[in-house]
């Protein structure tokens, strides 16, 4: 076991200021200092790798060790870690073979991190299980990937559903929560100096259109980028007639992959948690017959919502499947469909808590005179802890900040689930400000 000496930030300032920030970041000293720290992190890494190599040599196993060098997704800049632009998903991979094989060779093929398991098993002479999804990238019969895929779901308390497929030239991104901003509340990121700084610049009107896009109330349904011409992914080609065939092909490829892996991301998380308990785990839950084509079914509902097809949404709001009811009522709310008021009211008493929460939020969006606070408060006591987090997430989205919300937030701060506490802490602070203003 190797113990790295020292700590973080030992020597993490780049020696030069000679670099360009990506155009979607405001260029000033605050942002540049953050990037200098990020770019200078190689110095820490260099020391750590040197120590690991020295320890392997000291143990007498260096010449018999296959070394993989890779990273996670870097410093959490606004558009980087947790998002599916290349700043967030492109990481280095360096391999050192014991016999010096392929020294100095550079490969340009598309590799996913799941390829490391079968590659290392094969090199060690261990059979690769049939259910492994990755590829042995060292195999004699290895064939390059035409596509790589990536996904973003909930990170900490921030619920998100983004999927992407990438070739060497193009990237397609599907935003399933396109009615929500990129800059959803997140304690981890919101506390960082660059996050606070960029938000302040936005509020002061100092950001250009590109830099401001992160804070807009919604975002594109689909994004398509030519990575060769546009490495910073700022010119979205999804709406351009000349690229509709490419868009269609990439979309179809992504959806086929979601089907292939039986992607559970579109199932509301509280319900997925219950399914996992019922069937032993979430993987086994997704093998059940009623979930074999669930992605196509849910995508159809989401697309209907994006197109404003209220009649179809009303039909799916009566589905026996909770996931279908959830997405139907969610989009009835996003579309503020007054024709759906009675159906949404009915779903306030749905047997599934995810649907009840979505119905409370939807009805408030349709009719701001409706008070969703009582219904959302009841969900805090659910034994499924993710339900409480979803309820406070919905309450946060309403923008309601009053004494009652403050009391609910204080209650939520005693919750057993860390990420429910985070929403509660935020709501407590925001509602306390509002109450103080009204009491002046």
Query: What is the tens place of the pLDDT at every residue in 126-156?
Result: 999 988 889 999 999 999 999 999 999 999 9
Position 15 pLDDT exceeds 70: no
Query: What is the tens place of the pLDDT at every residue in 323-355?
Result: 999 999 999 999 999 999 999 999 999 999 999
**Residue-wise over 17-43: b if at least 16 C-beta within 10 A, else e?**
eeeeebebbbeeeebeebbbebbbbee
The token pair at 95 is 């391999």
- Rounded to the nearest 5°, which phi and psi values hold at 133? -85, -20
| pLDDT band per the 50, 70, 90 thresholds, residue 440 | low
The Cα–Cα gap between 132 and 137 comes to: 13
Query: What is the tens place of the pLDDT at every residue in 246-291?
Result: 999 999 999 999 999 999 999 999 999 999 999 999 999 999 998 9
The Cα–Cα gap between 238 and 162 comes to: 16
Position 12 pLDDT exceeds 70: no
DSSP state of 350: -
Position 62 pLDDT exceeds 90: yes
- The confidence score (pLDDT) of residue 4 equals 46
- The confidence score (pLDDT) of residue 58 equals 96
Cross-strand pairs, 152: 162
Query: What is the tens place of the pLDDT at every residue in 74-119?
Result: 667 888 888 999 999 998 899 999 887 778 889 999 999 999 999 9
Share of the chain above pLDDT 70, in %: 95
- The confidence score (pLDDT) of residue 16 equals 66
- The confidence score (pLDDT) of residue 102 equals 79
Cβ–Cβ under 8 Å, residues 376 and 389: no
The token pair at 210 is 């590109």
- Contacts of residues 240-249 at CB distance under 8 Å and 24 or more positions apart, as own/partner, are 246/170, 247/172, 247/222
Cross-strand pairs, 172: 165, 224
Sign of CA dihedral 120, 123, 125, 127: positive
Position 235 pLDDT exceeds 50: yes
Share of the chain above pLDDT 90, in %: 81
Q: What is the pTM of this model?
A: 0.92
* Three-state secondary structure call for residue 12: coil
- The confidence score (pLDDT) of residue 43 equals 84
């Amino acid at each position: 076991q190797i113990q790295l000496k020292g700590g973080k930030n030992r020597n993490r300032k780049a020696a030069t200021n000679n670099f360009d920030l990506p155009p979607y970041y405001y260029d000033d000293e605050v942002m540049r200092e953050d990037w200098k720290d990020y770019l200078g992190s190689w110095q820490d890494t260099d020391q750590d790798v040197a120590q690991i190599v020295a320890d392997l040599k000291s143990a007498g196993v260096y010449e018999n060790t296959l070394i993989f060098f890779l990273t996670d997704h870097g410093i959490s800049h606004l558009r980087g870690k947790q998002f599916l632009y290349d700043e967030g998903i492109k990481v280095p991979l360096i391999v050192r073979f014991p016999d010096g094989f392929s020294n100095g060779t550079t490969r340009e093929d598309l590799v996913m991190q799941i390829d490391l398991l079968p590659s290392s098993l094969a090199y060690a002479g261990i059979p690769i299980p049939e259910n492994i999804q990755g590829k042995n990238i060292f195999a004699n019969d290895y064939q390059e990937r035409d596509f790589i895929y990536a996904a973003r779901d909930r990170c900490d308390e921030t619920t998100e559903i983004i999927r992407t497929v990438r070739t060497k030239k193009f990237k397609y991104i599907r935003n399933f929560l396109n009615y929500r901003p990129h800059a959803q509340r997140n304690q981890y990121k919101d506390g960082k100096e660059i996050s606070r700084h960029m938000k302040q610049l936005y509020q002061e009107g100092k950001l250009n259109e590109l830099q401001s896009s992160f804070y807009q109330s919604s975002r594109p349904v689909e994004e398509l980028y030519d990575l060769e011409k546009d490495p910073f992914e700022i010119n979205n080609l999804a709406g351009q007639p000349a690229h509709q065939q490419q868009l269609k092909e990439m979309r179809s490829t992504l959806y086929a992959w979601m089907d292939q892996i039986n992607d559970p991301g579109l199932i509301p998380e509280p319900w997925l948690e219950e399914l996992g308990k019922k069937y032993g785990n979430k993987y086994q839950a997704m093998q059940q017959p009623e979930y074999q084509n669930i992605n196509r079914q849910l995508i159809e509902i989401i697309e209907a919502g994006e197109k404003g097809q209220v009649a179809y949404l009303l039909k799916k709001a009566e589905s026996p499947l909770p996931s279908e009811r959830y997405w139907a009522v969610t989009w009835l709310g996003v579309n503020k469909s007054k024709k759906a008021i009675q159906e949404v009211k009915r779903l306030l008493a749905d047997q599934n808590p995810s649907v009840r929460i979505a119905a409370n939020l939807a009805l408030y969006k349709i009719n701001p005179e409706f008070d969703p606070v009582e219904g959302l408060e009841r969900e805090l006591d659910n034994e499924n802890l993710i339900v409480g987090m979803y309820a406070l997430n919905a309450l946060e989205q309403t923008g309601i900040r009053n004494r009652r919300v403050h009391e609910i937030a204080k209650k939520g701060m005693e919750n057993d689930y860390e990420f429910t506490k985070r929403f509660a802490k935020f709501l407590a602070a925001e509602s306390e400000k509002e109450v103080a203003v009204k009491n002046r």
